[in-house]
């Protein structure tokens, strides 16, 4: 038996995070045991675990999905924890990990400081200090606004980039804590930071958005605490004894990129040897508006160094590097041009007529301008990022592509899912969705990484969160996003803005316009407040997390209810602004981005969904009064919808693909009329020669509704279509991520003139969830979330010969695959330790066997239970 993935609040060995309370999780592998007999978690203050401060004792109900330590923790303290698990066959294993608490309420020794320069100057700030003996430990608590990069003795601190990340800095500000023991030494040392605009002070918040959205000054707060072997403590905190000099960054923001003049670079700015006499003292700055807090953001790091690059010489004579993959991050290269020589890099997603193109970025410039100082330097941007596949290089006579490395940046959350099929184009589609996720998980789940938006659009986040959670381990990532969301909800009486953090409203206010409530409350967008928490619970089964995120759910559902009552309690949402089936193709007005399905029907359906999910969460959390209240509300909404939208004979008044799919998938349709709706949906699709009409909402539900209602072959046809509109149409046109629109690129390779076209928008990538759930058949089960109990119900299709999924679920590694040979289909299934699966074939077959033992029940199409372990199922006929 082996215990792996030991995590605290879904983070590996977190230091200085908000962990209230610490919640421990792990997985068990390499065991013959089927079930857990008991598990035990012990927490201590020493690595040998002798000074135990918390102990669950050996208990059957200690859960690997999340065991909260209801214990008081002290600030700045490392706690060691050990988990021991015993299986039902007596096998036992232990493993240990740690977490370290942050500063909490201990007062900061440092003060916010800034440089006494013109606001446009991006400063270096530094301080040298003595350490009088060998170092045994050093911790740095630090925050810089807008963004900072810190160094100690010439070495970067930690692996994060773009710290302190992105949230509404008026509502809270995350500082970071790093273990810098290895960077500080006895004798003379130096610490320093570079500051840049980022989201805080650069232009941000849509289109022609203003500068200084969150603040006016670049400023730093830092506190280094060093312990020496002889028991001395050295504290180096920001104050007016820090020294500043103008830095090499002349301009920069998230959308436009950066201008870096190496002639202003000071090579040893963070080293004790720095002997420049033109540094001037820092001045004390006003603290920013938001309250300082330990971080929730998981690490944001350079996840991959991408070296595949080819040079394209375009018909216009441009030198363009093709990285072969759309990604998000920076590019680095060595530069040894003469002093004053300029290099300009421009980033784009697609070529047009073989030439560089970036008009689809709208106002975002996405450039990096570098001015050489004549020295050979490894160059990279610092306080911006780019979404790109292509990069135009100007200022280098002959570009050698092998000199350019793309640095792929995203939130560092571990990969959990792989899915492979016998169809190469489907495999590319799966990869495109994964790249879309990587490109849009930059601390906030963004809509796109390249044009003048890059914001946390709630609708996109909501439809994609289950796919994201098959691909990667997401609870820490969404925990931070839902925290941001809840803070916004507190400002809006429970309502949810279209983007979180709500940069749009802030930008409008800055420009003297009152956003009112017009930037919040759209159906399917605002419902992220219920859908994401419930998805987290289904996928990870962590009740502590659900209890925290129940605040989002309840606040939004209560808002909906109050709004409804204010309109006379129709239990329908027939008012307000809604994106609804955004970008669907069935609007008679082809120039509109809104879909053709009645938005008030979609809004009412989501009202029903939010009430339902909030009721379910309340029930899980033992909040009976709430559960009854929201169940009753959901019943009333459904009854009102049945009256308003269904004729007595079952005709749906919104007979679009999206309308019908929603009625089926959300169980809104009166049960007696279900089969009629299925038939109507089939006719609808037949009329479109089985092609999509759907947008952000309908696309999410359509294939699931088909698969659940005996029309899996129709879902597969939609998936296999290669002509417009379809997923593989994009793949055939060379997409390496998911496009925003079905027709973002026309068959001749031209970007369509629809005015809004990102080639890296993951919303339609949510089809990958369908592939895991229906093709591989891996489904979470509500009564035992976190995949402790799962349903495996693969729907095979003759157009595929094999499918293989591996999913490192919260409960452990699940495999589900199938292989078609002549006459039979062989399924291989792996169920993790202490889990069980309901296995069901797609339909009745002549004969079936599990691990060589014939099973009539399986052959009849019934569900059979599978215990932990490997299983081979053969179905014939």
Q: Give the residue numbers marked as catalytic.
A: 453, 740
For ligand BGC, the closer of residues 405 and 760 by Cβ is 760
Q: Hey, how many other C-beta atoms are within 10 angstroms of the C-beta on 336? A: 10
Tell me if 464 contacts ligand BGC by CB under 6 A: no
Q: Residue 730's closest CA among 752, 711, 705? A: 752
- Find the shortest distance in angstroms from Cβ 494 to ligand BGC: 21
CB 99 within 8 A of CB 81: yes
Helix or strand run (H / E) with residue 625: helix 624-645
Q: Rounded CA gap, 87 and 66, in Å?
A: 18
Tell me if 192 contacts ligand BGC by CB under 6 A: no
**Which of residues 100, 443, 447, 527 is near ligand BGC by CB under 6 A?**
447
For ligand BGC, the closer of residues 5 and 761 by Cβ is 761
Q: How far apart are the first and last CA of the chain?
A: 39
- Find the shortest distance in angstroms from Cβ 795 to ligand BGC: 30
CA 244 to chain centre: 36
**Which of residues 271, 460, 564, 599 is near ligand BGC by CB under 6 A?**
460
- Find the shortest distance in angstroms from Cβ 447 to ligand BGC: 4
Q: What are the beta bridge partners of residue 25?
A: 7
Any idea of the CA torsion for 346, 350, 356, 357, to the nearest 10 degrees? -80
CB 344 within 8 A of CB 418: no
For ligand BGC, the closer of residues 204 and 579 by Cβ is 579
Q: How many helices (H) and strands (E) does the chain have?
A: 16, 45
Q: How many residues does the chain have?
A: 877
**Which of residues 582, 645, 716, 807 is near ligand BGC by CB under 6 A?**
582
453-461, 614-622, 711-719, 774-782 -> range binding ligand BGC (CB under 6 A): 453-461
CB 318 within 8 A of CB 391: no
Q: Residues 760 to 789: which contact ligand BGC by CB under 6 A? A: 761
Interface pattern 527-566 for ligand BGC (x via CB under 6 A): ----------------------------------------
CB 501 within 8 A of CB 574: no
CB 474 within 8 A of CB 413: yes
Q: Hey, how many other C-beta atoms are within 10 angstroms of the C-beta on 156? A: 13
Tell me if 453 contacts ligand BGC by CB under 6 A: yes
Q: Hey, how many other C-beta atoms are within 10 angstroms of the C-beta on 428? A: 17
Q: Please classify residue 459 by burial: count the beta carbons closer than 10 Å to its beta carbon, then call 0-12 exposed, 13-18 middle and 19+ buried.
A: buried
CB 825 within 8 A of CB 819: yes
Reduce the secondary structure of 368-383 to three states and give it as a string. EEEECCCCCEEECCCC
What secondary structure letter does DSSP report for 432?
A: H
- Find the shortest distance in angstroms from Cβ 549 to ligand BGC: 21
For ligand BGC, the closer of residues 457 and 478 by Cβ is 457
For ligand BGC, the closer of residues 215 and 436 by Cβ is 436
- Alpha carbons within 13 A on the beta-carbon side of 36: 27
30-38, 83-91, 454-462, 562-570 -> range binding ligand BGC (CB under 6 A): 454-462
Tell me if 481 contacts ligand BGC by CB under 6 A: no
For ligand BGC, the closer of residues 527 and 834 by Cβ is 527
- Find the shortest distance in angstroms from Cβ 459 to ligand BGC: 5
The β-bridge relationship of strands 52-55 and 36-44 is antiparallel
- Find the shortest distance in angstroms from Cβ 170 to ligand BGC: 23
**Which of residues 148, 175, 550, 579 is near ligand BGC by CB under 6 A?**
579
CB 638 within 8 A of CB 612: no
- Find the shortest distance in angstroms from Cβ 761 to ligand BGC: 6
- Find the shortest distance in angstroms from Cβ 763 to ligand BGC: 6
Tell me if 457 contacts ligand BGC by CB under 6 A: yes
For ligand BGC, the closer of residues 453 and 542 by Cβ is 453
Q: Please classify residue 854 by burial: count the beta carbons closer than 10 Å to its beta carbon, then call 0-12 exposed, 13-18 middle and 19+ buried.
A: exposed
Number of residues that bind ligand BGC (CB under 6 A): 10
**Residue found under tokens 């944001």:** 300
For ligand BGC, the closer of residues 392 and 498 by Cβ is 498
445-453, 653-661, 697-705, 864-872 -> range binding ligand BGC (CB under 6 A): 445-453
**Which of residues 3, 221, 448, 841 is near ligand BGC by CB under 6 A?**
448
CA 275 to chain centre: 44
For ligand BGC, the closer of residues 280 and 756 by Cβ is 756
CB 845 within 8 A of CB 870: no
- Find the shortest distance in angstroms from Cβ 575 to ligand BGC: 18
- Find the shortest distance in angstroms from Cβ 458 to ligand BGC: 8
Q: Rounded CA gap, 487 and 541, in Å?
A: 24
- Find the shortest distance in angstroms from Cβ 730 to ligand BGC: 16
**Which of residues 102, 436, 459, 786 is near ligand BGC by CB under 6 A?**
459
Q: Residue 486's closest CA among 443, 533, 440? A: 533
For ligand BGC, the closer of residues 175 and 582 by Cβ is 582
49-57, 224-232, 447-455, 601-609 -> range binding ligand BGC (CB under 6 A): 447-455
Q: Residue 511 has which token pair?
A: 């420009």
Residue numbers of the site for ligand BGC (CB under 6 A)?
A: 447-448, 453, 457, 459-460, 579, 582, 756, 761
């Amino acid at each position: 038996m082996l215990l792996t993935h030991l995590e605290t609040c879904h983070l590996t060995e977190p230091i200085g995070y908000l962990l209230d309370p610490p919640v421990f999780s792990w997985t068990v592998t390499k065991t013959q045991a089927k079930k857990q007999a008991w598990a035990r978690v012990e927490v201590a203050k020493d690595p040998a675990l002798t000074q135990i401060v918390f102990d669950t004792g050996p208990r059957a109900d200690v859960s690997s999905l999340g065991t909260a330590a209801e214990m008081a923790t002290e600030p700045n303290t490392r706690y060691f924890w050990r988990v021991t698990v015993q299986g039902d066959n007596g096998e036992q294993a232990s493993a240990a990990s740690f977490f370290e608490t942050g500063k909490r309420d201990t007062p900061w020794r440092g003060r916010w400081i800034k440089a006494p320069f013109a606001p446009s100057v991006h400063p270096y700030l530094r301080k040298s200090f003595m350490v009088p003996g060998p170092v045994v430990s050093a911790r740095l608590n630090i925050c810089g606004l807008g963004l900072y990069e810190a160094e100690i003795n010439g070495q970067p601190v930690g692996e994060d980039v773009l710290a302190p990340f992105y949230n509404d800095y008026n509502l809270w500000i995350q500082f970071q804590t790093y273990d810098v023991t290895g960077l500080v030494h006895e004798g003379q040392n130096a610490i320093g930071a570079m500051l840049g605009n980022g989201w805080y002070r650069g232009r941000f918040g849509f289109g022609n958005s203003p500068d200084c959205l969150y603040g006016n000054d670049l400023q730093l707060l830092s506190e280094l605490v060093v312990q020496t072997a002889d028991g001395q403590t050295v504290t180096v905190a920001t104050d007016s004894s820090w020294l500043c000099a103008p830095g090499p960054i002349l301009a920069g923001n998230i959308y436009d990129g950066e201008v870096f003049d190496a002639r202003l670079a000071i090579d040893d700015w963070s080293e004790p040897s720095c002997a420049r006499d033109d540094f001037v003292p820092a001045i004390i700055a006003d603290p920013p508006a938001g309250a300082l807090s330990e971080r929730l953001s998981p690490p944001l790091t350079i996840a991959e160094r991408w070296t595949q690059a080819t040079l394209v010489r375009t018909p216009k004579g441009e030198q363009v590097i093709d990285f072969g993959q759309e990604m998000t991050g920076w590019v680095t290269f060595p530069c040894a041009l003469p002093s004053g020589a300029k290099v300009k890099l421009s980033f784009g997603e697609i070529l047009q007529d073989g030439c560089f193109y970036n008009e689809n970025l709208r106002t975002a410039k996405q450039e990096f301008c570098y001015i050489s100082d004549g020295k050979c330097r490894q160059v990279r941007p610092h306080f911006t990022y780019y979404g790109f596949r292509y990069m135009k290089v100007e200022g280098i006579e002959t570009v050698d592509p092998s000199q350019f490395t793309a640095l792929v940046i995203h939130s560092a959350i571990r990969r959990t899912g792989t899915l492979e099929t016998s169809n190469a184009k489907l495999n590319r589609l799966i990869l495109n969705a994964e790249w879309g996720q990587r490109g849009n998980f930059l601390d906030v789940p963004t809509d796109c990484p390249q044009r003048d938006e890059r914001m946390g659009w709630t609708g996109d986040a909501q439809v994609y969160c289950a796919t994201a959670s098959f691909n990667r381990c997401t609870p820490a990532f969404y925990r931070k996003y839902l925290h941001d969301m809840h803070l916004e909800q507190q400002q809006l009486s429970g309502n949810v803005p279209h983007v979180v953090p709500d940069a749009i409203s802030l930008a409008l206010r800055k420009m003297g316009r009152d956003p009112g409530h017009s930037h919040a409350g759209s159906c399917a967008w605002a419902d992220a407040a219920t859908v994401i928490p419930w998805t987290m619970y289904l996928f990870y089964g962590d009740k502590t997390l659900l209890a925290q995120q129940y605040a989002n759910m309840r606040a939004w559902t209560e808002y909906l209810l109050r709004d409804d009552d204010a309109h006379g309690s129709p239990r329908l949402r027939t008012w307000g602004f809604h994106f609804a089936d955004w970008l669907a193709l069935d609007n008679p007005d082809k120039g509109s981005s809104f879909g053709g399905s009645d938005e008030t029907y979609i809004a009412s359906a989501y009202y029903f969904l939010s009430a339902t999910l909030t009721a379910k969460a309340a029930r899980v959390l033992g909040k009976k009064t709430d559960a009854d209240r929201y169940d009753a509300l959901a019943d009333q909404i459904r009854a009102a919808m049945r009256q308003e939208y269904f004729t007595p004979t079952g005709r749906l008044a919104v007979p679009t693909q999206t309308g019908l799919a929603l009625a089926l998938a959300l169980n809104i349709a009166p049960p007696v009329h279900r089969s009629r709706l299925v038939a109507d949906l089939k006719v609808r699709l037949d009329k479109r020669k089985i092609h999509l009409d759907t947008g952000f909402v309908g696309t999410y539900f359509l294939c699931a509704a088909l698969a659940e209602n005996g029309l899996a072959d129709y879902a597969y046809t939609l998936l296999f279509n290669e002509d417009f509109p379809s997923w593989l149409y994009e793949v055939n046109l060379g997409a390496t991520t998911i496009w925003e629109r079905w027709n973002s690129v026309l068959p001749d390779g031209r970007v369509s003139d629809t005015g809004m076209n990102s080639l890296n928008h993951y919303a339609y990538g949510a089809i990958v969830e369908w592939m895991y759930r229906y093709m591989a058949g891996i489904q979470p089960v509500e009564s035992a979330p976190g995949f402790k109990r799962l349903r495996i119900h693969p729907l095979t299709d003759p157009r595929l010969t094999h499918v293989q999924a591996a999913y490192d679920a919260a409960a452990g590694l699940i495999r589900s695959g199938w292989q078609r040979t002549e006459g039979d289909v062989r399924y291989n299934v792996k169920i993790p330790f202490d889990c069980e699966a309901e296995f069901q074939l797609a339909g009745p077959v002549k004969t079936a066997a599990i691990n060589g033992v014939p099973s009539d029940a399986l052959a009849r199409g019934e569900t059979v239970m599978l215990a932990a372990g490997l299983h081979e199922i053969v179905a014939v006929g």
